[in-house]
Every structure is written in C-alpha cells, then in structure tokens.
Amino acid sequence: MNWQPPEKPAEFCENRLIAAILSGQFAIDSTLPGERDLAASLGVTRPTLREALQRLARDGWLEIRQGKPTRVRNYWREGNLGVLAAIAGSPLHLPGSFPADMLAIRTCLAPTFTRLAVERAPDQVVALLRPYAQVPDDARTFTEWDWRLQHELTLLSGNPVFTLIYNSFAEMYQTLGVAYFAPPGNRAASQAFYRDLLRYAEAHDGPGAGQLVLRTMQDSQRLWDQVHL
C-alpha cells in the first residue's frame, strides 16, 4: 500500500492559496487580506502563512510589498516552472485551452530531445523502445508507458532542462493521457510510432527520428482535437 505523507502546514496553506488564485477567488492584480485575517481563515499560524507567501512570491504568484498589501501577480506573464507545475497539477482549474497549449509545446520540444537522444545514445534508445511492442492494450497502461518513454528520451538527450519542463506537467499528463488513449485507434497509431522510432534508432538516424516525432506530435494534436470537439 502506498501511503501519502500528510501535508505540512505550509504546503497546505500554499496549495489552498494557489487553488483560490486559480479559481478567481483572489484574481490577478487583486490584493490578499491582511496576514492576521488570512492566517485565521486558513487555520494556520502567521509564521506558517509567511512561509507559504514567500514560496508563492518566489514562483511568481504573489508580489510581497513592504508596508503594502500582498498583490496577486499576473502569473501567466511573471510565473516560472513552479507555476506551470501547480497549474498542470490542478485539473479542476485548468483553462480550457491549456491541454492544447501543452500539446503545442510538446510538439516544439519532443522532436529536438528525441533527435538528440538518438544521436547521443542510439543503443540505449533501442533498448528503451524494444519492450514497447508488448504494451498492454489499455489506455492507462499506454499513458504510463508513453510518459516513461518521453521522460527517458529527455534524459538521454543530455539537456536536463527538457526533463525539468516535462516533470512540471507529469500529473496532468497522467490525467489527459488516459482520455487521449481511450480510442483504440489512438493506441494503434502510437504502436506504429514506437515501431518506426525503433527503426530510426537502430539506424542511428537522429534527424529522421526528429522528423518522425514532429509528424507524430502534429497528428496527436489533431487527434486530441477530434476527441474533444
């Protein structure tokens, strides 16, 4: 059994404030209540609240101004990977265009890190891909395997920034991937992609692998649009 550790008070406070910001309770450019009132409404001490506020300011959610109310920043413009991870991990508050936006980013990134992985470590990519011919034919398993493949390719690319970006939306991928892989045709298309990518890796053809991934990601965007029309 996997036991989830209890949230620390500062983490609880931080998550509650992020949810309030994403839901519009604390809108962009609005100000938060005073420390005393906010701490009381959250059921935490003022030192705990201050710790959470500092963390949120660090990631771009808030602007803490000495002697003035704390302002909710435009996190879309001023946030960082911490904001991305929090938004991706909050499926109830995702903007409607967010999944499509993330697919578009993946279309930009995946061809490059796959090409680099095949160029730098073709034999490791081959070893990674060979088991994919036996992926069990169900949406959840496909989601887990597809995520593992892409994550490993970012590692093999040699550029850790790719991995950090992918880690930021790991939780969202698990949720949206199940919906994407629910139609059998989408799973069949991915199996064909895995087979083709294996051939490029065996041939040590990094540019060809990158072009294959670009075409596949573009097709994935179209398939996602069809699922969610």
pLDDT digits (tens, 9 = 90+) for 137-171: 899 999 999 999 999 999 999 999 999 888 888 87
Is the overall model pTM greater than 0.85, yes or no?
Answer: no
Query: Residue 3: pLDDT above 60?
Result: no
pLDDT digits (tens, 9 = 90+) for 209-224: 999 999 998 888 787 7
pLDDT digits (tens, 9 = 90+) for 4-40: 556 688 888 998 999 999 888 999 999 999 999 999 9
Report residue 140 as tokens.
Answer: 């959840």
pLDDT of residue 162: 93
What domains lie within the chain, and their CATH numbers? 9-79 (1.10.10.10), 91-227 (1.20.120.530)
pLDDT digits (tens, 9 = 90+) for 76-123: 898 888 888 788 777 667 666 777 787 788 889 999 999 999 999 999
Poorest-confidence range of 67-71, 205-209, 221-225?
221-225
